[in-house]
Structure 1
């Protein structure tokens, strides 16, 4: 990501996270940042495709530690950020959940950069929100926070999908390059192939059943979250469900 673009996105993040910022102002910053990061990803993919066909060797692998508490939900957040941005993440099934998880991320460098930036920022935003919200007296803090996280995760993913679709449509309307859908499909195929070669025994996890009243509050926080700044699996083990 260019230094200029990165600085612009970081400034939007800082503005949206400012406690003095009104909800309307934060939403405006959020939308602008989400559009910028989506536009960057689509434009970079099209530019690379115009230079030379992508190959499996262009796909990188990076490792990240997802810390506890709530490491399962945090790894699900990483998955749901990565999937719309063409990053495939694999959760390694080792150690205790309370210690967090090691996660491998596969993708093109520009997409990995987008995911890492967003994941770091959204973890901070989620932590700030959870620290200020009190669950109802009849519900355990753990149940409330887990439900909150899933509301946050699902809303963030929906917004990312919308931003990516919008950026792809605008790129096609300009008509100055190859088909966006074909370029992204080719890149996804290469990422999936790289994962399959690295892990031959991936398993999907069971779907998550969300319990707790925090889901709606998490959805609201996900709608406000700044998006400026995946299939998750275990090796061996299971992929995070949606």
Structure 2
């Protein structure tokens, strides 16, 4: 452990603040030409400790952008990509003490992050039929986002949701024995950006529920953990991203930028999207209800997802969001009715 790391560790205690940060930055800057190497060594160790507590490099970069400044975000991204601290300081045109202060502030954020469930990335992208379905879904959603005709866009996104629901039914019928094996549910973290992040998390929850997944919102860290089978997780992220793009565009065309209006808009949008997605998913199941073993197979997959969620998050709470602007609520429902499912 180098001198800087010892000084940095002292900044992590309860009650420490700006004075301790300045002291650690002074120790780092005083190392002269060796300051960047010491910073790099300590940063690497801190990042590995975060990974041991379940934080992936992408999570750390997102937290830097969420909690600190754009400069800290750029430093986090450089560290995640294996970049050099000295190169970062040069690109930012920072004197040694300013660069050292940025490093200490970022590492203090990292050092204070608590343990979270560790996300294991998939070994490879979904292959075979799942990969083909997701490719078609991705293409349909891209067209839905780019078209200037609401009717065409709505039809395209409806087709995408139909494909996802059909694939879930086919998978349940063809592979009912996999529910209790090692090929069961996994999970991924999906960042939910400010502003109005609670309402956006509500939208993600709606998409997850319609696609036989469960979402747990971590408000303190700005992400939801979505639990489900791998191809379903991929579909959830695709559809959520597309619907969020559509919501942002509708908000930009809206008559007001007041906070209550925009929050009410997004809550109503998420609520109506939940209804529409649930109906689309239920219609696909109803169309195949005569298939032997379908309902037990779907129930087994749902149970596997619920069990995995409870294992990861044995203690959760519920929260209520209130829309306080009637105009925003009406516009949000209207936008959801026009949204491309």
Same fold, TM exceeding 0.5? Answer: yes
**Does structure 1 residue 223 correspond to structure 2 residue 329?**
no
Q: TM-score, normalised by structure 2?
A: 0.57
Q: TM-score, normalised by structure 1?
A: 0.79
Identify if the C-alpha distance between structure 1 residues 208 and 32 changes in structure 2 by more than 3 Å, giving closer, same or farther: same
How far did residue 144 of structure 1 move? 0.7
How far did residue 128 of structure 1 move? 1.4
Give me the CA root mean square deviation.
2.0
The structure with higher relative contact order (CA 8 Å, sep 6+) is: 1
| Count of residue pairs brought into register by the alignment | 211
**2:194 alignment partner, SS class:** coil
> Which residue does the alignment assign to 1:67?
193
Q: Flag the structure with larger Rg.
A: 2
**Does structure 1 residue 184 correspond to structure 2 residue 298?**
yes
Match of 2:313 among 179, 183, 199: 199
> Which residue does the alignment assign to 1:55?
180
How far did residue 170 of structure 1 move? 1.7
Distance in 2, matches of 1:26 and 1:80, equals 20
**Structure 1 range deviating more: 218-227 or 74-83:** 218-227
Match of 2:226 among 85, 105, 108: 105
| Unpaired segments ≥5 residues, structure 1 | 96-100, 228-242
How far did residue 33 of structure 1 move? 2.5
> Which residue does the alignment assign to 1:34?
161
Cα shift readout 1:181-221 (whole Å, capped 9, x = no counterpart): 2222222212111122222221122x322211111111111
Distance in 2, matches of 1:217 and 1:169, equals 31
**Structure 1 range deviating more: 194-203 or 148-157:** 194-203
> Which residue does the alignment assign to 1:153?
270
Distance in 2, matches of 1:9 and 1:53, equals 24
> Which residue does the alignment assign to 2:215?
89
